[in-house]
């Protein structure tokens, strides 16, 4: 327990521990355990935006380029993204149940599995050409090759792994390390406890209810251990995590964290919409006093912040947002601030410095062009 009552400002500063800068991409992955992925590139994919803030000298696309050399796997906890193999030991063996593609094409799974085993590494296009069975509805309501959906099912089962990406497309291959894990998995109690504590560390400090929501989402990563995850969450809340009430809202965080005397950060940071710093909207609204929304799927006329607005922080407080896009080899920016924020010279200078960092991250030449 902290020596003095916690304030929202202290919690904001504590939350910034997630933005620790690391000297290598692998060190950042080891520290995070999980990095959420998203295909939208505005101005870069979510995983790149997250790692840019945590790896010195990181450039957009480094994760995809270096992936074959890293201790990293594409997997799901609580959403789709990248995990270390240590974290993967918590997730497998996995029993996800039968997918719609498997029900519609009951013999296709064995055929695709055999094809991957003989080829070593496969592109979904080549699998479709070899053993295709037409198309099925995908998770977004569109159409995908049946073989591509079967590859997804095999990946979720842990029978294949993503070996690398080419132009953003996943290539698949055998996963011998997961086959070995099926033979000698960690005890279930260790797996679910490890998953709960990983979530508390990655997204903490969190309102207790938000951690419970994350645990419930994790049925995607541990679908057959839902009850065990809920029980591990209750045990963690009662016996293992530290916590305190702030403004009547109970927060929790790993017991080993030092919470007294945490210093507020300085400068301006612009982070992605799926960054652990802003992922929990309940915490965001309580600690920063306004509601941030991800509006990529909101009709344009109803957007308040923009298609892919990135939360903007001055010191430890979220004071606005930025929409960034690359046009003609230049980074164009639209920056907005919440009511009551004074656009001081220090704030303007901090924004320009951060936009300069983004330009280097994106490998751009020329000046940052402001539009508001």
Q: What is the pLDDT of residue 97?
A: 84
Better-scored residue on pLDDT, 107 or 336 = 336
What are 182-216's pLDDT values in tens digits? 999 999 999 999 999 999 999 999 999 999 999 99
Give the model's pLDDT for residue 196. Answer: 97
Q: Which of 102-106, 214-218, 224-228, 320-324 has the lowest mean pLDDT?
A: 102-106
Indicate if the pLDDT at residue 304 is higher than 60. Answer: yes
Pairing of strands 330-337, 369-370: parallel
Q: What is the pLDDT of residue 102?
A: 86
291 φ, ψ (degrees, to nearest 5): -100, 120
Pairwise CA distance, residues 152 & 135, whole Å: 14
The answer to whether the CB of 181 falls within 8 A of the CB of 158 is: yes
In the structure, what pLDDT confidence band is assigned to residue 268 with cuts at 50, 70 and 90? very high
**Which tokens is 85 given?**
């193999």
pLDDT reported for residue 100: 84
Give the span between the Cα atoms of 309 and 337, in whole angstroms. Answer: 12
User: Would the CA dihedral through 56, 46, 77, 144 be positive or negative?
Assistant: negative
In 132-207, which ranges are continuous DSSP H helix? 146-157, 176-183, 188-203
The predicted model scores a pTM of 0.92
> Which pLDDT does position 353 carry in this prediction?
97
Average pLDDT for 230-246: 97
Q: Which residue, 351, 252, 338, is CA-closest to 289?
A: 338
Residue 365: band (very low, low, confident or very high) from pLDDT cuts 50, 70, 90 = low
What proportion of the chain, given as a percentage, has pLDDT over 90?
Answer: 82
**Given pLDDT bands bounded at 50, 70 and 90, which one contains residue 135?**
very low
Give pLDDT tens digits for 65-88. 999 999 999 999 889 999 999 999
Q: What is the pLDDT of residue 45?
A: 97
Contact 321, 305 (CB under 8 A): yes
Q: Mean pLDDT for the chain?
A: 92
Which is nearest to 317 in space by CA: 250, 261, 269? 269
- Of 35-49, 210-224, 344-358, least confident by mean pLDDT is 210-224
Residues 6+ apart with CB under 8 A from 205: 11, 14, 15, 251, 252, 253, 283
216-253 as b/e, with b when 16 or more CB fall inside 10 Å? Answer: eebbbbbeebeebbbebbeebbeeebbbbebeebebbb
pLDDT higher than threshold 60 for residue 372: no
Q: Indicate whether 366 pLDDT > 80.
A: no
pLDDT-derived band at 339 (thresholds 50, 70, 90) equals: very high
pLDDT digits (tens, 9 = 90+) for 32-45: 999 999 999 999 99
Model confidence band, residue 269 (pLDDT cutoffs 50, 70, 90): very high
Mean pLDDT, rounded, for 305-323: 97
pLDDT at 5 over 70: yes
Q: Show the domains of the chain with their CATH numbers.
A: 100-183 (1.10.10.10), 268-370 (no CATH)
How far is residue 195's CA from residue 288's CA, in Å, rounded to a whole number?
Answer: 28
Give the C-alpha separation, 45 to 331, whole Å. 15
The region of weakest confidence among 19-33, 39-53, 138-152 is 138-152
């Amino acid at each position: 327990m902290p020596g003095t009552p916690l304030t929202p400002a202290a919690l904001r500063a504590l939350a910034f521990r997630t933005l620790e800068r690391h000297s290598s991409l692998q060190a950042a992955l080891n520290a995070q355990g999980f990095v959420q992925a998203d295909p939208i590139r505005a101005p870069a994919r979510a995983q790149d935006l997250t790692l840019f803030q945590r790896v010195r000298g990181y450039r957009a696309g480094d994760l995809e380029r270096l992936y074959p050399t890293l201790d990293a796997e594409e997997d799901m906890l609580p959403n789709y993204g990248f995990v270390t193999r240590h974290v993967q030991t918590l997730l497998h063996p996995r029993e996800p149940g039968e997918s719609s593609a498997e029900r519609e094409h009951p013999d296709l799974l064995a055929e695709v599995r055999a094809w991957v085993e003989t080829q070593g590494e496969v592109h979904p296009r080549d699998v479709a050409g070899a053993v295709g069975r037409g198309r099925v509805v995908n998770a977004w309501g569109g159409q995908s090759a049946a073989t591509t959906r079967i590859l997804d099912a095999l990946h979720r089962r842990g029978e294949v792994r993503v070996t690398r990406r080419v132009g953003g497309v996943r290539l698949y291959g055998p996963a011998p390390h997961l086959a070995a894990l099926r033979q000698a998995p960690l005890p279930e109690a260790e797996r679910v406890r490890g998953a709960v504590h990983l979530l508390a560390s990655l997204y903490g400090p969190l309102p207790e209810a938000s951690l419970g929501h994350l645990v419930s989402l994790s049925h995607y990563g541990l679908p057959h251990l839902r009850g065990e995850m809920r029980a591990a969450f209750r045990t963690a809340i009662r016996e293992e995590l530290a916590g305190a009430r702030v403004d009547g809202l109970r927060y929790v965080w790993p017991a080993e964290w030092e919470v007294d005397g945490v210093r507020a950060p300085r400068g301006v940071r612009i982070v992605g919409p799926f960054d652990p710093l802003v992922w929990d909207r309940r915490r965001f609204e309580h600690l920063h006093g306004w509601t941030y929304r991800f509006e990529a799927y909101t009709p344009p006329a109803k957007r308040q912040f923009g298609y892919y607005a990135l939360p903007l922080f001055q010191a430890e407080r979220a004071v606005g947002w930025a929409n960034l896009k690359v046009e003609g080899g230049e980074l164009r920016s639209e920056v907005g601030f919440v009511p009551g924020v004074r656009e001081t010279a220090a704030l303007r200078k901090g924004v320009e410095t951060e936009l300069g960092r983004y330009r280097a991250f994106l490998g751009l030449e020329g000046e940052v062009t402001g539009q508001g």
